[in-house]
């Protein structure tokens, strides 16, 4: 949804942009300099940009930027440069087309990484700031909140194509169009048949101010206050939810992005830090929400309309339908699980020795959730190298043949050609210029669509990264040499494959789900959108 990329409660792109930090020492008037800034930081990764500036008296014909990475840090995708790795040392050199930098000119390149930020930067062997001593490690700040969860994507328009939606068969188009209100009514209906008390939470970011906060039932947004370096308990901002067979309507401001949480039986435990809110992360050891049955939907509502999705990126727990009715009176809905579909997913996952431990059951026998593979691996419940053999095979396939990536369905003329050389896959554009390169990802990078597959918010590297991650998740990379491509019948046919995503999609009425971060590639996502939303709804179905 994304999500990016990026859900605003876990790592907010707009907030992170406000906290962007540059580092560049005072430049000598007679030397070239390089400056690096963090474009965005989403907690588990970041995107950096380097600007090489020629402040000298003669034109440059080439450049070389080098730096060291702290222990555990990595660089994945990169663009507009060539990269060489030697242990923790990285060397970036110009491509054939951007080595010449005239006096007063600038050249920019970028990369996506994880862990600590680069240190000891040099340009052509001299400190990046133009001095004679080693550049100290920069301090990069960000306004993104401290979190324990991996970021998911916002309910924002997918760059690969406009999302498609499916009208819920059981609901005919509205005959009376609701008036447009300042606050968007969202009706939550409980059809579970369960007797548990339901608690609702609307958390997100105010897109006008960039502040993180919560929304009450009447639609008032309040920014969080009172956080500390050591997380402290957040105030109880729950909204009483509907009993089975009933509905509750809440109102949401029209310029907010975030999550609507719902828990059964017990209230959720949120914590505040100095930078934001720590969300429930039941896959993490010691999380106080581990034994609570809960789930969430993700949304963005702004001047361009409403995007609302049911997310299974982190876990599959409470089956629910998301829907929106627009000014035309038409209702679009998705996310409906087939009859007994939740149990079918649980049974299929339990039957697999590789995935079985990702089914989490409470002491009273209640199945709380099925963890997505990345979360299960993080918790030590499945192999951290599960996909490695497939990734190696798929990556190596393109040492012998071309991979064609056409990431925009509305722009078929945009075409990139990929080839691998060792562990690096590089893509060229129609003019033969190398525009993006990716180091071979790990299993964790594929599960999270991050690290080596980190997708910056641009129109070249990000769309290619999204395409690669979706193809690896669906095991079509190496088999289908034009990406994105294929249908549901082609997906998850490799070995090993993502059983979690496979069985969730199989048990959706319309086949749509958000089983991983970029499941919107080829419109496989459980997302509804309307440019003129009048009402929205979330319906819990029986389980």
Domain range annotation of the chain: 20-127, 183-384+506-540, 388-493
Closest CA to 33 of 19, 23, 42, 46: 23
pLDDT band at residue 169, thresholds of 50, 70 and 90?
Answer: very low
* Minimum mean pLDDT range among 168-172, 211-215, 277-281, 362-366: 168-172
pLDDT at 360 over 70: yes
- 298 tagged catalytic: yes
Q: What is the mean pLDDT of the chain?
A: 86
Q: For residue 457, what pLDDT is reported?
A: 84
In order of 209, 218, 237, the CA distances from 201 in angstroms are 20, 12, 7
CATH-assigned architecture of domain 388-493: 2-Layer Sandwich (3.30)
State how far the Cα of 248 lies from the Cα of 299, in Å rounded to an integer. 18
pLDDT at 156 over 80: no
pLDDT at 10 over 70: no
Average pLDDT over residues 236-265: 97
State how far the Cα of 518 lies from the Cα of 374, in Å rounded to an integer. 14
| Secondary-structure class of domain 183-384+506-540 per CATH | mainly beta
Q: Which CATH number fits domain 20-127: 3.90.470.20, 1.10.1060.10, 2.40.30.10, 2.60.40.290?
A: 2.60.40.290
pLDDT at 326 over 80: yes
- Please report, rounded to a whole number, the percentage of residues in the chain having pLDDT higher than 70: 86
Average pLDDT over residues 494-514: 97
State how far the Cα of 140 lies from the Cα of 241, in Å rounded to an integer. 41
pLDDT at 145 over 50: no
Average pLDDT over residues 402-416: 94
pLDDT band at residue 175, thresholds of 50, 70 and 90?
Answer: low
pLDDT band at residue 109, thresholds of 50, 70 and 90?
Answer: very high
Determine which one of 287, 295, 314, 336 is catalytic.
314
Higher pLDDT, 41 or 466: 466
pLDDT at 5 over 80: no
In order of 261, 268, 275, 391, 528, the CA distances from 203 in angstroms are 8, 12, 15, 37, 19
Determine which one of 66, 298, 450, 525 is catalytic.
298
pLDDT at 344 over 90: yes
């Amino acid at each position: 949804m994304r999500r990016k990329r990026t859900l605003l409660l876990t790592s907010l792109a707009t907030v992170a942009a406000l906290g962007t930090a540059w580092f560049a020492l005072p430049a000598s008037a007679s030397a070239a300099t390089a400056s690096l800034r963090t474009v965005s930081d989403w907690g588990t990764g970041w995107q950096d940009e380097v600007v090489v500036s020629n402040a000298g008296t003669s034109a440059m014909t080439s450049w070389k930027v080098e730096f060291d990475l702290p222990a555990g840090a990595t660089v994945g995708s990169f663009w507009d440069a060539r990269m060489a790795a030697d242990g923790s040392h990285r060397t970036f050199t110009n491509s054939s087309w951007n080595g010449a930098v005239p006096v007063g000119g600038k050249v920019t390149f970028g990369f996506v990484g994880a862990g600590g930020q680069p240190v000891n930067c040099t340009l052509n062997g001299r400190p990046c700031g133009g001095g004679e001593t080693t550049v100290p490690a920069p301090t990069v700040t960000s306004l993104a909140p401290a979190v324990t969860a991996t970021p998911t994507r916002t309910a924002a328009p997918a760059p690969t194509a406009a999302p498609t939606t499916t009208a819920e068969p059981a609901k005919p188009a509205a005959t009376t169009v609701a008036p447009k209100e300042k606050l968007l009514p969202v009706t939550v209906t409980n059809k579970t048949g369960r007797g548990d008390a339901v608690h609702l939470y609307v958390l997100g970011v105010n897109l006008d101010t960039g502040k993180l906060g919560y929304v009450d039932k009447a639609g008032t947004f309040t920014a969080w206050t009172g956080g500390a370096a050591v997380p402290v308990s957040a105030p109880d901002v729950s909204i009483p939810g509907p009993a089975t067979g009933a509905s509750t309507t809440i109102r949401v401001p029209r310029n907010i992005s975030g999550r609507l949480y719902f828990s059964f039986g017990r209230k959720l435990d949120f914590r505040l830090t100095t930078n934001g809110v720590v969300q429930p992360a039941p896959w993490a050891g010691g999380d106080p929400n581990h034994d609570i049955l809960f789930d969430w939907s993700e949304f963005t509502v702004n001047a361009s309309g409403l995007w609302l999705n049911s997310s299974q990126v982190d876990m599959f727990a409470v089956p629910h339908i998301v829907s929106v009715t627009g000014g035309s009176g038409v209702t679009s809905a998705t996310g409906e699980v087939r009859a007994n579909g939740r149990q079918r997913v649980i049974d299929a996952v339990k039957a697999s020795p590789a995935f079985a431990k990702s089914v989490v059951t409470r002491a009273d026998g209640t199945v709380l959730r099925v963890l997505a593979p990345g979360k299960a691996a993080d918790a030590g419940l499945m192999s951290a190298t599960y996909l490695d053999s497939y990734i190696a095979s798929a990556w190596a396939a393109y040492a012998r043949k071309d991979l064609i990536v056409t990431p925009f369905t509305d722009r078929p003329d945009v075409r990139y050609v990929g080839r691998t050389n060792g562990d690096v896959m590089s893509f060229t554009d129609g003019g033969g210029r190398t525009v993006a390169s990716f180091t071979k990802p790990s299993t964790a990078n594929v599960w999270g669509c991050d690290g080596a597959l980190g997708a910056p918010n641009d129109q070249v590297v990000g769309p290619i990264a999204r395409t690669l991650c979706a193809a690896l998740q669906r095991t079509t990379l190496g088999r289908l040499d034009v990406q994105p491509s294929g249908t549901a019948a082609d997906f998850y046919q490799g070995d090993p494959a993502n059983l979690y995503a496979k069985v969730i999609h199989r048990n959706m009425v319309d086949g749509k789900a958000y089983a991983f971060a970029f499941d919107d590639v080829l419109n496989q996502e459980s997302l509804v959108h309307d440019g003129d939303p009048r009402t929205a709804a979330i319906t819990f179905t029986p389980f």
